[in-house]
Amino acid sequence: MKRLSLFIGLFFGCFTHAQTADFILKSLVREDTVLLRWAPANADLMLRGLRNGYQLQRIDGSGVFENNSTLRTFSIEPFESRKSVFENSASEETKNMAAFISDMLQNSSLSAESNQMAFAVLLLGSSTNRDIARMLGLFYEDLTALSGNYSYRVVLNNADSKSNTVTLSSDTLTVDHDLSLLSGSARPRLKQAYLSWEAESLQADYVAYWVERSTDSVHFSRRNTLPYFFLKSQDETDKTICDFVDTTVAEGIVYYYRVTGITHFAETGKSSNTVAVYVPKNICADARIDSIRVNGFERQVFCKILTHCKVNNIQKWQLLRSDSLLFGYTVLKEQLFSGHSQVVTSSVQVPLESGDRYYYKLALIGVDKDTVYSYPYYFFTLDQIPPSTPQNLTGSVNDSGMVSLTWDPNPENDIRGYRVYRSNSLNEEFIEVSRTFCTSPVFRDTLDLRNLTPDVYYRISAVDLNYNNSKTCAPVKLLKPDTIAPVPAVFRAYRVDSGGVYLAWNNSSSADIAENLLLRQGNNVVDTLLRWTDKTTSWLDTSGVVGKGYDYRIVTLDQSKNPGISESVFVNYETGLRPGISKLQAIVNRPEKQVELSWTLPADSEIYSIQLYRAKNDSRFILYKTLREPSATSFTDKDLSMNNTYRYKIKVVYKNGVSSVVSEAVVVIY
């Protein structure tokens, strides 16, 4: 019932005026007559109209119908009063329809669904058949209308129901609407002609159509015996196109089509444009490839063409080949067809004596460009020829140990992939590192850089679809980024003497040494004492300060500046002596009867006292004076006797109790 309700809704959609009324009224003005059609909104109203009849009311101009002095009424009698006219009709269709309506009115036990179905059928029939419309009391011709404006409406006899009002001018004739453009095309395989036109916008003017065909574009005949309606189902609410399929066409003929509209008053309206549809000739045959034989670089293809009709419409055949099942076929050979079933043998060349793999097809080309293909035939020969050796292998290793390899793609078109091999030395076996075939000429590998080998070697081979392996290419050597520190140097001896700190060591055993540095740290200051690149293994440090403690280390740098740092050696630079004074001078001041001494103190600031020793003539040195001022740099000796020789020496005493060496003597003759 959903589809039926949708159909009824579409029919009423043809009447665009006052769709909320009980009856929808529509008019058509012709010369000397006004045609009026109406439709009830439901099955119950239609039954009431059949039983009670209608009144068609007319007034001059427009206005209110009630108490209007110009009101004129035209009665449509109940069906029972009029049915004899139709039962005695010469038309069997009219008689049968009259009997159907009579039975429906007399059978009060019909279900609501049956009444609704009958309502749809009768309403559809009345839209294209005036006799049915008259039987239903839904049609009237007003021949009394003079020149001027009129208003019409329809009401049920003995019931409170009415239609919308239609106002018209009897002087303005109704003009039929032009049909939209008709388009047509052939469906060769189905032997059909397909027509379509836009019908949504024509529903207010045309309820159905006649489809007409001609073979000479002049004399047309109808293809449909019943009017062709534009209907929608509940799943086609957006449908706007009306289409028609003609299945009675023959191949090789041009057909001309046009569509003529049928108005809601069962009149034939305007015709559409004429379209020409050529139904091409189809091939009536099959193509088949039976077998393929090998003869060196030649492939002999054996095919069959099987015709099924006297006229098979084949113009020529083609042999096609591709290395893919679905696309890429090219024509190898083409030849005209003789007209009968035949065996086709064709010889084609292949680039390799073995290892080829192709899909073959046989195509039949028709006189109207129709094409029939055989099923694809796959043929291959066992490939025993390995691919060529891959070329131009290059690569690099970054600081993270990531290896990038690239090479030129092989020229063969049957390459399955590439295998990659690696070794740490040319004297070792190469091990495959590719887990699957490399389908492109690129490979990524990862190395552990925490080893002592400075380089790595790679080589590759190509593999074809038959798993033939090429020769491996020449190995390529890649340098690893050096992240391994060299073996540190080792101190083997040290000693402290009066000349300084003597150090001895064994140099690093690593092979890529760039430089060695001897470092000394004291008082948070690091000094570089020595740099060497040769086999130096000892050094005397004379620049230390006696009494100080020093840490010594050797830093070994390789070519990548990775440092190898030795174990430190702590040396307390202690000789038992400290630096003494320098530049001791003595000046005789005879007028003042004194000797003035001056000297330069050592740089060390931890001096406790300064001891002055004096000897007179040949006597031994004795402690003469102790100066408690640690910064003293001069002394005046006034305890002197004439005609004597005096000798002076100075010793520095430090706060830790250690003394310096005694200075050289300075001699004064007084």
Place of tokens 């004739």: 173
DSSP 286-354: EEEEEEEEEETTEEEEEEEEEE-SS---EEEEEEEEESSSSS--EEEEEEE--SS-EEEEEEEE-SSSS
Spell 304-314 as b/e; 16+ CB within 10 A means b.
Answer: ebebeeeebbb
pLDDT digits (tens, 9 = 90+) for 577-623: 777 888 889 888 888 889 899 999 987 668 889 899 999 998 999 98
CATH of domain 394-479: 2.60.40.10
Give pLDDT < 50 ranges for the chain: 1-18
Which pLDDT belongs to residue 19? 52
Residues 6+ apart with CB under 8 A from 655: 606, 607, 608
CB-CB contact of 326 with 279 (8 Å): no
The CATH T-level fold of domain 2-169 is Immunoglobulin-like (2.60.40)
CATH of domain 582-669: 2.60.40.10
Rounded CA-CA distance 408/393 in Å is 7
Rounded CA-CA distance 318/363 in Å is 5
Domain ranges of the chain: 2-169, 183-279, 285-380, 394-479, 490-572, 582-669
In 325-475, where do the E strands start and end? 330-336, 342-349, 357-366, 371-373, 377-380, 394-397, 402-406, 415-423, 431-432, 442-446, 455-464
pTM to 2 decimal places: 0.55
The CATH T-level fold of domain 490-572 is Immunoglobulin-like (2.60.40)
Q: Do 285-380 and 490-572 show the same overall fold?
A: yes
Spell 68-86 as b/e; 16+ CB within 10 A means b.
Answer: eeeeeebebebbeebbeeb
Six token digits for residue 115: 């009444």
CATH superfamily entry for domain 285-380: Immunoglobulins (2.60.40.10)
Measured in whole angstroms, the distance separating CA 319 from the mean position of its chain's CA atoms is 38
CATH superfamily entry for domain 183-279: Immunoglobulins (2.60.40.10)
Pseudo-torsion of CA 363, 366, 370, 372, nearest 10°? -30
Going by C-alpha positions, the residue among 168, 139, 160 that lies closest to residue 59 is 168
Which pLDDT belongs to residue 2? 40
CB-CB contact of 344 with 317 (8 Å): yes
Pairing of strands 525-532, 607-616: unpaired
Place of tokens 């008053």: 265
Residue 19 backbone phi and psi in degrees, to 5: -70, 0
pLDDT digits (tens, 9 = 90+) for 404-463: 999 999 998 889 999 999 999 999 999 999 999 999 999 999 988 877 677 899 999 999
Pairing of strands 525-532, 549-558: unpaired
* 30 beta partners: 33
